[in-house]
Each structure stands twice: as structure tokens, then as C-alpha cells.
């Protein structure tokens, strides 16, 4: 089992944070364009994501949306059944506590907090479905 990457978007589509761990292939486009494409895909899929069957996809997209419109997207391999609790923890215990409540982190701006980044990385690396990259 493997974690590939995590996106955190605000309601308007601004990517507030991006991390990657075991991503094997890069998109071949600038990160800002990738963020726009990912958010556009989320916006389009939102209405019918429950009916979609990812039979030919090699990864599973886990999605968590807050009441305020913040969207967290975690990509893993297909063996990870659900990452909902992990995404909820990332939002409530890391993002809210270390970004939202931090007066040095301006709202609706990309996250610059090294404390958030390091705690997020430690949390994701500690997940039971996080696996080291094969050699």
C-alpha cells in the first residue's frame, strides 16, 4: 500500500498545500496548471463520483470536503479502502490547529508553515497504509 500525494484546495480552487511521497510519474506540466486541472476534475466529478467505477485506474482518489468548502484530496494505490479518517485528522488536527488558528498564516493563501508541513509529513508517514518506495 502506498500514499502518492495530497492536495488541499479552498472553495475557489486555490491550492493551499501540496505534498507528494511516492509519486512515480510527474504530470509534465507546471504545478499551478496541475492544480487547476485537479480542481477542475473535482468540480466535474462531484455530481457523479458515487456512480463512477475506477476499473482502469491504478490509484484511488480519497476526497474530503469541509463545510467551509476546503477540499482535501489524497491519492493512494487501490489497496487503500478508505482514507476518510486520515483526511479528517489532517483537517481538524493539523490544518485547523496549525494553519487556521495561526495568525501568521493568512487565510486563503498557500500554506507557508514549516510546522504544518513537518507534522503533516510525519502523520502521513505514520499511516498504516504508507509504504516505503520499492527499490
| CA–CA dist 52, 23 (Å, integer) | 23
**pLDDT tens, N- to C-terminus, the chain (135 residues):** 688 899 999 988 999 999 999 888 888 899 999 999 999 888 787 655 445 455 556 778 899 999 989 999 998 888 899 999 999 999 999 999 999 999 999 988 999 999 999 999 999 999 999 987 655
Domains and CATH numbers, the chain: 3-125 (3.30.450.70)
Q: pTM of this prediction? A: 0.69
Grid-cell match 508541513, residue found: 117
- Number of DSSP helices (H) and strands (E) in the chain, helices first: 3, 4
- Beta strand spans in the chain (E): 3-9, 15-20, 59-65, 71-77
Q: Which residues pair with 8 in a beta bridge?
A: 17, 72
Amino acid at each position: 500500500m502506498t500514499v502518492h500525494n495530497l492536495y488541499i484546495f479552498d472553495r475557489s480552487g486555490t491550492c493551499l498545500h501540496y505534498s507528494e511521497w511516492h509519486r512515480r510519474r510527474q504530470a509534465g506540466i507546471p504545478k499551478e496548471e496541475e492544480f487547476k486541472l485537479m480542481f477542475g476534475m473535482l468540480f466535474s466529478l462531484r455530481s457523479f463520483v458515487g456512480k463512477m467505477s475506477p476499473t482502469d485506474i491504478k490509484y484511488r482518489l480519497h476526497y474530503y470536503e469541509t463545510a467551509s468548502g476546503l477540499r482535501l484530496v489524497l491519492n493512494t494505490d487501490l489497496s487503500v479502502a478508505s482514507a476518510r479518517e486520515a483526511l479528517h485528522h489532517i483537517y481538524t488536527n493539523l490544518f485547523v490547529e496549525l494553519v487556521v488558528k495561526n495568525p501568521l498564516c493568512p487565510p486563503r493563501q498557500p500554506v507557508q508553515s514549516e510546522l504544518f508541513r513537518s507534522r503533516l509529513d510525519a502523520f502521513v508517514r505514520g499511516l498504516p497504509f504508507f509504504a516505503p518506495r520499492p527499490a
